[in-house]
Amino acid sequence: DAGVIQSPRHEVTEMGQEVTLRCKPISGHDYLFWYRQTMMRGLELLIYFNNNVPIDDSGMPEDRFSAKMPNASFSTLKIQPSEPRDSAVYFCASSVQGLPRSGYTFGSGTRLTVV
Amino acid sequence: QKEVEQDPGPLSVPEGAIVSLNCTYSNSAFQYFMWYRQYSRKGPELLMYTYSSGNKEDGRFTAQVDKSSKYISLFIRDSQPSDSATYLCAMGDGFGNEKLTFGTGTRLTIIP
């Protein structure tokens, strides 16, 4: 398996533009997580899905952020409009039920810079 | 106050030294405790996990949990330059909840 695949790896955009981050989880994993990582706040959970259904979106900062999982092999995180404070590394992770043994498998992240 | 606190470092030690990394937490509901390692420009990867108070060994790594003090540690023996990375602690409550809460991470450098 190729692991969790995220695209793009880097994104530079201007304030006010729409940004879409993409994630392909590991086949057979029924949980998908979106995290944001900054130096100051570390890894913060934004939202997670179970069997394509959003379970907890309490970490989504505000209405500018939205996430979808239309099928088991694809998820998107959209920011509209983007702001400089959204600059961070965004990680997608997937897992099967059974923490902690299963752990999360993280993608390599998308480094977002909003100027 | 954050649920999980971790000293961000950076921490630099000479090769072969014993490294101690620590986290404290405030949520008594946490039932299992994990350590992830993150290399530069990569996603975190699971290093080891433990459920209960006490020690768990895996090669050069030992995870220690003290639930009474809400304090966890990761010890690395005979540290190697390849251990240079950011180490994140993570915790979950285990009540059918697959959500993990992470510390901010400690950046570790092993000097050859």
- The predicted-structure confidence for A90-99, as pLDDT tens digits, reads as follows 999 999 877 7
Confidence of residue B9 (pLDDT cuts 50, 70, 90): confident
Average pLDDT, chain A: 94
Structural tokens at position B37 = 């390692």
CA-to-CA distance for A13 and A87, rounded, in angstroms?
10
Name the residue in chain A with its Cα closest to that of B35. Answer: A103
Q: Which of A51, A75, A41, A71 is nearest to A61 (CA)?
A: A41
Q: Determine which of B58, B100, B101 to mutate to test the interface with A (most A C-beta atoms within 10 Å).
A: B100
CA angle A107, A111, A113 (to 5 degrees): 160
Over range B35-64, report the average pLDDT: 92
Q: What are the tens digits of pLDDT across the range B77-110?
A: 999 999 999 999 999 987 667 889 999 999 999 9
CA-to-CA distance for A70 and B24, rounded, in angstroms?
38
**What is the pLDDT at residue B74?**
97
Lowest mean pLDDT among A8-12, A38-42, A55-59, B80-84: A38-42
CA-to-CA distance for A50 and A94, rounded, in angstroms?
10
DSSP letter (8 states) at residue A103: -
Exposure string of A83-112, with b = 16+ CB inside 10 Å and e = fewer, is eeebbbbbbbbbbeeebbebbbbbbbbbbb
Over range A62-70, report the average pLDDT: 95
CA angle B62, B64, B67 (to 5 degrees): 165
Neighbours of B52 (CB within 10 A): 10
Between positions 11 and 70 of A, the ones with CB within 8 A of B are 31, 33, 35, 39, 41-43, 45, 48, 50, 56
Residue B99 touches chain A, beta carbons under 8 Å: yes
**What is the pLDDT at residue A1?**
66
**In this complex, do A50 and B98 lie within 8 Å of one another by their Cβ atoms?**
yes
**What is the pLDDT at residue B52?**
74
Over range A82-88, report the average pLDDT: 96
**In this complex, do A106 and B44 lie within 8 Å of one another by their Cβ atoms?**
yes
Is the torsion defined by CA of A46, B86, B32, A25 positive or negative?
positive
Q: Determine which of A4, A35, A104, A105 to mutate to test the interface with B (most B C-beta atoms within 10 Å).
A: A104
Over range A39-66, report the average pLDDT: 93
pLDDT of residue A60 exceeding 90, the answer is: yes
Over range B44-67, report the average pLDDT: 91
Please give the interface size between A and B, counted as residue pairs whose CB atoms are below 8 Å apart.
Answer: 59
Beta strands in B1-112 (DSSP E): 4-6, 11-14, 19-25, 32-38, 45-50, 54-58, 61-66, 71-76, 85-92, 101-102, 106-111
Confidence of residue B55 (pLDDT cuts 50, 70, 90): confident
CA distance A115 to chain B (A): 21
